[in-house]
Amino acid sequence: MSNGNDDKDVGAAGAALAASTSSITARTLGRSLFNWVAGLAILFFLWYLGGLWIENNPNTTNFKDFGPIPTFKAFPELWGIGKIQAAVQTSGYRLGIGLLIAIVCGIPIGILLGRSRLFRELSNSPFQLIRMISPLSWEPIAVIVFVTWNGAIVFLIAIAAVWPIVFATAAGLAKVDPAWFKVAKNLGAKPWHMVTQIILPAIMFDILTGVRLALGVAWIVLVPAEFLGVTSGLGYSIADARETLSYDHLTAMVLVIGIMGYILDSSCAMLIKKFSWHH
């Protein structure tokens, strides 16, 4: 009889622990959601105060459409004519291609930096020199070299995004235990097996961290790169709204840029969390 009572006690304790854990998790999620909403509310309240100040100041009253209320009213209009969808699609395509080129080039270069001392010593100075050049400084050269503006913009995104991926990959590889490579070599692993079975799984967290940083840099470069020479994209939409004095449209497109950037960054953060060794 005592064994049956003990089992019941253990079951009750387990159920109580599960309920307590669930309650703590719910409270944590609720607090995080509240803080997230509160942070946005504070931001928009400050924006609203700034809009009121602009509207009530005689020197800036012509720019009152920068405020949040005119901006939110402009969203249905821009969405209805398809301007937001077209701009996001065009800029997203340029960003995706440029970032893909940066990933395809950056990961192998980063692996070489991490595995080859000779390559690291030879390339350190040139890479650091090129990395410190502002990506937009390449624009006059890119316009000459590439036939289309799309090609030039993709190049600017790629040249900006490749460096965070390169150095994050190399830094991640430097933390890998050298004994892993010795064991794999003794077991007859080929270079391709080294890359696919040891290196990439071991440094995936670092690669994704580099991609997240690269995405932020590329997103910043994308908009000013679209100010000139093209007739589509988020940057062009902002420049066009400025030229036509449609300030509500301008701030609406700026807000779209912020929302899209936030979504992309959050997606990268979730992938990083998934591939984290701690997780």
Cα–Cα dist 23/27, whole Å: 6
Q: In the CATH hierarchy, which fold is given to the domain comprising 67-274?
A: MetI-like fold (1.10.3720)
| Least confident range of 110-119, 126-135, 172-181 | 172-181
At residue 190's C-alpha, the angle toward residues 185 and 195, to 5°, is 95
- Cα separation values, 75 from 50, 240, 244, 246, 252, Å: 20, 16, 17, 13, 6
Whether the Cβ atoms of residue 279 and residue 204 lie closer than 8 Å to each other: no
Q: Which two tokens stand for residue 173?
A: 């590889």
Q: Is pLDDT above 50 for 10?
A: no
> Which residue matches tokens 């440029």?
98
Q: pTM of this prediction?
A: 0.79
> Which residue matches tokens 């912020």?
258
Q: What percent of the chain has pLDDT over 90?
A: 27
Output the pLDDT for position 184.
76
Question: Domain spans of the chain?
Answer: 2-62, 67-274
| Least confident range of 195-209, 240-254, 255-269 | 195-209
Q: Which residue has the higher pLDDT, 59 or 276?
A: 59
For the stretch 220-252, pLDDT in tens is 899 888 887 788 889 889 988 888 888 889 999
